[in-house]
Structure 1
Amino acid sequence: MMMSDTKTDWPSSLDDSELDELDAYLRGHAQENEGHLLLDGVHGLLSALAVGPTRVLPEEWLPEVLHEPFADETEGNRVLALLAKLNDSISAELDVDAYEPILGEVDSEAGPALSAAGWCEGFSRGIDLRASLWEKRLADDPPLMEMLGPVMALAVDEGILSAEAEFEKLNDEEYDDCLAQLPAVLAAVNHYWYEHPATEAELDALNRANEARTEQQPPPRQRSGHWVH
């Protein structure tokens, strides 16, 4: 799950220098007290959209990632190209069973440790962009909720989601096990929506919800560290 020095086999994937470039841009324009997503969060957001029930256009998700005008046209075109390439890479990786989440790395008493906080934050925002579809299916279809179990456990553990019942923090082994399951979770959810697409009634409800939707600022998220892949 650590970042590899070898270039991936599909042309749509970002290489390490491109990931570093995008990471630097996002860090340079992020305000933690505004809950802005870093690279791991953007990857989580785009991952949720890639495996979700309906297509989400860039004009819908870009406001979750970019929060100010570009300094110049060249910078803007470059950043947008990197984001598009990152977005494309997720579907490519899922197609060949090679998906790996981009995760945060934080300092712990035992040294650097992987953190799913940013990725889970982004994933939850991706679900929010199609909230009515996800919420109805999660309520009506327990197997989908079960599929997402490792993601839910990590999100609750990191304080991204609140648990209805008392939740005991994951130990290191349980946390790592949930991280290891993320590629399989996304593959399963991707297959679920392919086999059980949104119904016409669900899409009508989504359209009504989108029409009534008002923009809300996400809650602040305090985090730091580096990303690894």
Structure 2
Amino acid sequence: MNTPKTDWPSSLDDRELEELDQYLRAHVGDGDLLLDGVHGLLSALAVGPIQVLPEEWLPEVLHEPFADEAEGNRVLALLAKLNDSINAELDVDAYEPILGEVDTDAGPVLSAAGWCEGFSRGIDLRAGLWEKRLADDPQLMELLGPVMALAVDEGILNADAEFEKLSDDEYDECLAQVPTVLGAVNQYWSAHPATEAEIEAAVKTETVSDPQTPPPRQRSGHWVH
């Protein structure tokens, strides 16, 4: 089903995406998420085991006070619309990741690094539940395979075994599978929801994520949706 994104009240148009992108770039610090990373973060929360409220994820996105109330309200409204658009896209099988670009000798190329970094941080917000289920159910690990391959390739995740760098074709293939992966993971948690016992255990054992994060990658300032 192909539903035009302009028909979805919750979707950001190109002007709004650019506005949010420029705000985040103007207020980015070392290791902070840009638009692609914020989209990855919100995507992980959208398909995750249980709801994560804005007061939990906003500190991952906003790191300084707003200049004024009007600016704050505008940025928060754009973030809310971005968050809503992910669920709208998943509902009609039309999800697309927002990606950054990196400059290479051959010119700018799409990069999943920022999106994967955000996705990883989204998982970290419910780390206990994700880690237990990934350890107990190989099906979930298999579903996440393409995204994990991209994250390892970009240095976002460490591989347990020696990992051979993806070829350009393999990278593009994994990237093309991201929408399918998110749809499948979303369906997985709907069909196999976290139990009360899992939630209680996760709350008791929740630990702070490893503070060491990869250095921020140079991006050209473009976004693709």
Q: TM-score range by the shorter chain?
A: over 0.9
Distance, in Å, in 2 between the alignment partners of 1:187 and 1:143 is: 14
Counterpart selection for 1:22 from 20, 23, 31: 20
Aligned to 2:154: 158
Aligned residue pair count? 220
Cα drift, residue 216 of structure 1: 6.9
Aligned to 1:3: none
Q: Is the 8 A contact 2:128 2:203 kept in 1?
A: no
Q: Name the TM-score, length of structure 2 as normaliser.
A: 0.94
AA matched with 1:169: K
Pair 1:173 & 2:133 matched: no
Q: Name the TM-score, length of structure 1 as normaliser.
A: 0.92
Q: Which runs of structure 1 show a deviation greater than 4 angstroms over 4 or more consecutive aligned residues?
A: 213-218
Name stretches of at least 5 consecutive residues in structure 2 with no aligned partner.
none
- Judged with a 3 Å threshold, the aligned counterparts in structure 2 of structure 1 residues 200 and 164 are, in CA distance, closer, same or farther, namely same
Give the secondary-structure state (helix, strand or coil) at the position aligned to 1:188.
Answer: helix
Give the secondary-structure state (helix, strand or coil) at the position aligned to 1:36.
Answer: coil
AA matched with 2:81: K
AA matched with 2:19: E
Q: Is the 8 A contact 1:35 1:218 kept in 2?
A: no
AA matched with 2:47: V
Give the secondary-structure state (helix, strand or coil) at the position aligned to 1:227.
Answer: coil
Output the aligned Cα RMSD: 1.5
Aligned to 1:53: 49
Pair 1:74 & 2:70 matched: yes
Aligned to 1:195: 191
Aligned to 2:215: 221
AA matched with 1:29: H
Distance, in Å, in 2 between the alignment partners of 1:21 and 1:130 is: 29
Identity of aligned residues (%): 78
Q: Is the 8 A contact 2:102 2:108 kept in 1?
A: yes
1:53-97 Cα distance to aligned partner (Å, 9 max, x none)? 000000000000000000000000000000000000000000000
Q: Is the 8 A contact 1:50 1:91 kept in 2?
A: yes
Distance, in Å, in 2 between the alignment partners of 1:215 and 1:174 is: 29
Cα drift, residue 109 of structure 1: 2.4
1:80-118 Cα distance to aligned partner (Å, 9 max, x none)? 000000000000000000000000111222222110000
Distance, in Å, in 2 between the alignment partners of 1:110 and 1:71 is: 40
Distance, in Å, in 1 between the alignment partners of 2:61 and 2:103 is: 25
Q: Is the 8 A contact 2:47 2:189 kept in 1?
A: yes
AA matched with 2:62: L
Give the secondary-structure state (helix, strand or coil) at the position aligned to 1:193.
Answer: helix
